[in-house]
Amino acid sequence: MRILITGSAGMLGRDCDEHAVAAGHETVTLTRADLDVTDAGAVAAAIADARPDAVINCAAWTNVDGAESEYDAALAVNGAGAGHVAVAAAAVGAWTIHVSSDYVFDGAKPEAYVESDPVGPISAYGRSKLEGERAVALAAPRHHTIVRTSWLFGAHGRCFPKTILRMARERDEIGVVSDQVGCPTFTGHLAGALVGLARAPRLGVLHVAASGHCSWCDFATAIVAASGLDCVVRPITSDQYPVPAPRPANSVLASERDAPALVGWEQGLREFMSALARVAA
């Protein structure tokens, strides 16, 4: 089948392309330089020209804190842009696989969030991602899968593990937030699930994230241990690390819809470290 990937130069987009090609699919890759998803006409023309069987939309505004001061720009990409992709895909009979976020929830639930839980984003970024979900569902009511995921990290872009590795090389001790929990999800694993859903699509919202969960501090501790660096990771509270955008205290995702199951975040970290070494080489 032919799979079109938007945002294909990004961390997730590159892994999606690799997985799709490895699975024997033909890919059409469009980077942000190739296609501005906020331009409805350009999106319609690009997808009409490619005539894919499925579109995996990895194009996104990912600057969580930046969205607080530049909400209109974030909304244009994550909201309207997502809708443009879904409209254009539906026009050629293609299925839309849209990537969303745990940040559509407020984080107050004591257990893992499932697909039917009420949404309630507490940040501008979360609101923009929720608007994207709504735009996709409206544009392609019978031809979409919305995949919510959590705490993405990968070898091909900026991510939390890379930041921790840099800081651990520079310092003897780092403080990391311990009162936020989530499911650190390796993009190499998520990409495989997205390509699988493009081949065998399922209608509606699915939660697809690494199994298991941890705090940012736990994650950082595991990253430093895997690197062999000599750095102490010290737990701190969210109040001790103020940022412009509030984060959900609980970003743990689970599925009540038999979504594709991913392996544990620890395995994701091991594969990330191996992939990082390959990229560096």
Q: What is the pLDDT of residues 170-197, one digit of tens each?
A: 999 999 999 999 999 999 999 999 999 9
Instruction: Please tell me the predicted confidence (pLDDT) of residue 109.
Output: 98
Please, are residues 16 and 41 in contact by the beta-carbon 8 Å criterion?
A: no
How far is 196 from 198, CA to CA, in rounded Å? 5
Query: Does residue 13 form part of some domain?
Result: yes
CATH number, domain at 128?
3.40.50.720
Instruction: Please tell me the predicted confidence (pLDDT) of residue 277.
Output: 82
Q: Is 107 left (phi over 0), alpha (psi -120 to 50) or beta?
A: left
- The strand pair at 214-215 and 181-182 is best described as antiparallel
Please, are residues 125 and 84 in contact by the beta-carbon 8 Å criterion?
A: no
Query: Does residue 113 form part of some domain?
Result: yes
How far is 38 from 33, CA to CA, in rounded Å? 12
Instruction: Please tell me the predicted confidence (pLDDT) of residue 127.
Output: 98
Query: Does residue 274 form part of some domain?
Result: no
Instruction: Please tell me the predicted confidence (pLDDT) of residue 268.
Output: 98
CA-based nearest residue to 245, from 72, 124, 157: 124
Query: Does residue 58 form part of some domain?
Result: yes
Query: Does residue 81 form part of some domain?
Result: yes
Q: Which two tokens stand for residue 162?
A: 């890379």
Report the amino acid identity of residue 143: H
Range of the domain at 33: 2-158+184-211+251-263
CA-based nearest residue to 208, from 247, 257, 248: 257
Query: Does residue 271 form part of some domain?
Result: no
Task: Enter the pTM of the model.
Answer: 0.96
Tens-of-pLDDT digits for all 281 residues of the chain? 999 999 999 999 999 999 999 999 999 999 999 999 999 999 999 999 999 999 999 999 999 999 999 999 999 999 999 999 999 999 999 999 999 999 999 999 999 999 999 999 999 999 999 999 999 999 999 999 999 999 999 999 899 999 999 999 999 999 999 999 999 999 999 999 999 999 999 999 999 999 999 999 999 999 999 999 999 999 999 999 999 999 999 999 999 999 999 999 999 999 999 988 887 76
Instruction: Select which of 71, 103, 113, 125 is catalytic.
Output: 125
Q: What are phi and psi of 184, to 5 degrees?
A: -60, 120
- Asked if 113 is an active-site residue, the reply is no
Q: Which residues pair with 144 in a beta bridge?
A: 96
Query: Does residue 18 form part of some domain?
Result: yes
How far is 275 from 11, CA to CA, in rounded Å? 12
Instruction: Please tell me the predicted confidence (pLDDT) of residue 239.
Output: 96
Please, are residues 164 and 174 in contact by the beta-carbon 8 Å criterion?
A: yes
Query: Does residue 60 form part of some domain?
Result: yes
Instruction: Please tell me the predicted confidence (pLDDT) of residue 192.
Output: 98
- Count structural domains, the chain: 1
214-223 residue pLDDT tens: 999 999 999 9
Instruction: Please tell me the predicted confidence (pLDDT) of residue 142.
Output: 95
How far is 53 from 51, CA to CA, in rounded Å? 7
